[in-house]
Amino acid sequence: MSNPDVIVVGAGLAGAAATLKIAKAGRRVRLIEARTRCGGRGYVKAYGGDGPELEFGGAWITPSHHRLRALVAEHGLALRPRHAITNRLRLGDGPASPSDVTAHERTIARVAADSILLKKGITTNERGEALTGISFRDYLDRLQCPAATRAIFSAWWTVSGNGAHAHVAASEFLASCAYDNGLAEGMINFWSDTVVPGMGVLAERMIAASGAETVFSDAVTHVAQDTQGVMIATGAATHLAAACVLALGVNQLQTIRFAPLLSPAKSKAITLGHGGRSFKLWIRAEGVPVGMLVTGDGSGIEFAFAERSGEDGSTYIVAFGLMQEPNRPSDAAWVRDQAAKLFPNARVLSHDWHDWVDDPFARGTWVAALAGHEAGLEAANWQPEGRVAFASSDYAPEQAGWFEGAVIAGEAAADAVLGLR
């Protein structure tokens, strides 16, 4: 193989966007991917091996994800609107006493105010309390809210901050609340569509359209550079090019050795990693109306939405909780018990999922900054170093954590390497 102009590492949405833009500019690109497939944390597969094609990684896009929507149209894919929420149910007792009701309403208003301030870039509220650098647990303690309010926030945390309450930054939750005027329960209103047949297929088509040379099933282990070019080593080969885009998330970079070393700020952010550790399950059940949304009592499966009906009249429920003790998302009996708690009339037929935390090429779910280390994941910390540019949704300049952020970061990294002499 003759040397390409640019090597892109990672065939997720960030890598696909970078590859396409660099190839469109007339440069020869080689894409190296550790897995056998494109899409990274965007992963569609047949439920249970022979069921409908479902998204086991990321799924929803919002109305403001314009770049992604344009790519979906450009590459001949379609959008599927999310099923309307027909019924909302909260497990557990609501606020018990009149004073609890007052405290509950006051807390909702305080969180809304904090989230709007944070959206404006203001990191201290009118009480002088910090909105960044504080974990979700400490933030909840500070609110001194009733147990029922805490359980509601905990449920929405599994689809926002999605990590250990004691370690992940409360700002992840507040940022998600800000989508709908500060209301935790409003964030789902912005999950408007999914891509058909799947986000991984979009990445695949973008890469095919680029005409890039592709290398699959080969993980990059070393990245070295000097003023002339870069050398990328995998388990199987060594690749040379004038420049490189590492389209890898912050946890994925932990397995790569750099020469020379990266900046201290990047090295620290990589060592710390991010704390995204939710599980996402699909549960096939009977007796559950499509459109029903149930939030839990602060334990086990905390969030479940009956997302679509199967051809046989069964329902596919998408469910989230935290990967922590005593949760057992791979255990059919545990999932059945949890589903019975959330949907007492359901008959669970089966479940399926992908373990992103244990996945060696993901090492976590969507990005969740650790409290006190939020700055390490800001885009300002991820500027190119020499001939190596970085691209991931994890540290995107906009829409971080979303597929849209991956595309924006990939295209920005493409511009950076195209600007190199």
Rounded CA-CA distance 393/405 in Å is 5
Rounded CA-CA distance 213/223 in Å is 19
For position 402 contacting ligand FAD by CB under 6 A, the verdict is: yes
Q: Which is nearer to ligand FAD, 114 or 394 (CB)?
A: 394
For position 393 contacting ligand FAD by CB under 6 A, the verdict is: yes
For position 12 contacting ligand FAD by CB under 6 A, the verdict is: yes
| Window 131-150: residues binding ligand FAD (CB under 6 A) | none
Rounded CA-CA distance 281/271 in Å is 29
Convert residues 250-289 into a mask of x (bound to ligand FAD by CB under 6 A) and - (unbound).
--x--xx-----------------------x---------
Least Å from the CB of residue 218 to ligand FAD: 7
Least Å from the CB of residue 148 to ligand FAD: 27
The answer to whether residues 328 and 347 touch, using CB atoms and an 8 Å cutoff, is no
Q: Scan for tokens 């005409």, then name that residue.
A: 211
Q: Which is nearer to ligand FAD, 108 or 270 (CB)?
A: 270
Which of 21, 27, 30, 35 binds ligand FAD (CB under 6 A)? It is: 35
Rounded CA-CA distance 12/22 in Å is 15
- Binding span for ligand FAD by CB under 6 A among 44-52, 175-183, 372-380, 400-408: 400-408
- Binding span for ligand FAD by CB under 6 A among 87-95, 333-341, 380-388, 401-409: 401-409
Q: Which is nearer to ligand FAD, 143 or 377 (CB)?
A: 377
Question: CA angle, corner 359, sides to 383 and 411, nearest 5?
Answer: 30
For position 303 contacting ligand FAD by CB under 6 A, the verdict is: no
Strand pairing of 193-196 and 60-61?
Answer: antiparallel
Task: Give the neighbor-by-neighbor strand order of the sheet with 243-246.
Answer: 213-215, 29-32, 6-9, 243-246, 388-390
Diameter of the chain measured on Cα atoms: 74
Element (H, E) at 379: none
How many chain residues are in contact with ligand FAD, going by CB under 6 A?
40
- Binding span for ligand FAD by CB under 6 A among 112-120, 174-182, 243-251, 287-295: 243-251
Q: Which amino acid is at 252?
A: Q
Question: CA angle, corner 313, sides to 311 and 319, nearest 5?
Answer: 95
The answer to whether residues 392 and 249 touch, using CB atoms and an 8 Å cutoff, is yes
Rounded CA-CA distance 227/259 in Å is 12
For position 241 contacting ligand FAD by CB under 6 A, the verdict is: no
Which of 47, 173, 303, 403 binds ligand FAD (CB under 6 A)? It is: 403
The token duo for 417 is 């390497």
- Binding span for ligand FAD by CB under 6 A among 206-214, 307-315, 322-330, 399-407: 399-407
Least Å from the CB of residue 315 to ligand FAD: 19
For position 156 contacting ligand FAD by CB under 6 A, the verdict is: no
CA distances (Å), 298 to each of 157, 187, 238, 327, in order?
10, 18, 49, 12
Rounded CA-CA distance 371/374 in Å is 6
Convert residues 347-386 into a mask of x (bound to ligand FAD by CB under 6 A) and - (unbound).
---------x----xx--xx--------------------
Least Å from the CB of residue 272 to ligand FAD: 17
Rounded CA-CA distance 59/66 in Å is 16
Which of 21, 30, 41, 277 binds ligand FAD (CB under 6 A)? It is: 41
The token duo for 355 is 């373990």
| Window 48-107: residues binding ligand FAD (CB under 6 A) | 57-61
For position 412 contacting ligand FAD by CB under 6 A, the verdict is: no
Q: How many CB atoms lie within 10 A of CB 326?
A: 7
Rounded CA-CA distance 289/222 in Å is 51
For position 154 contacting ligand FAD by CB under 6 A, the verdict is: no
For position 225 contacting ligand FAD by CB under 6 A, the verdict is: no
Least Å from the CB of residue 163 to ligand FAD: 12
CA distances (Å), 227 to each of 71, 267, 416, in order?
35, 21, 16
- Contact residues: ligand FAD, CB under 6 A: 9-15, 32-35, 40-42, 57-61, 219-220, 247-249, 252, 255-256, 280, 356, 361-362, 365-366, 392-394, 401-403, 406
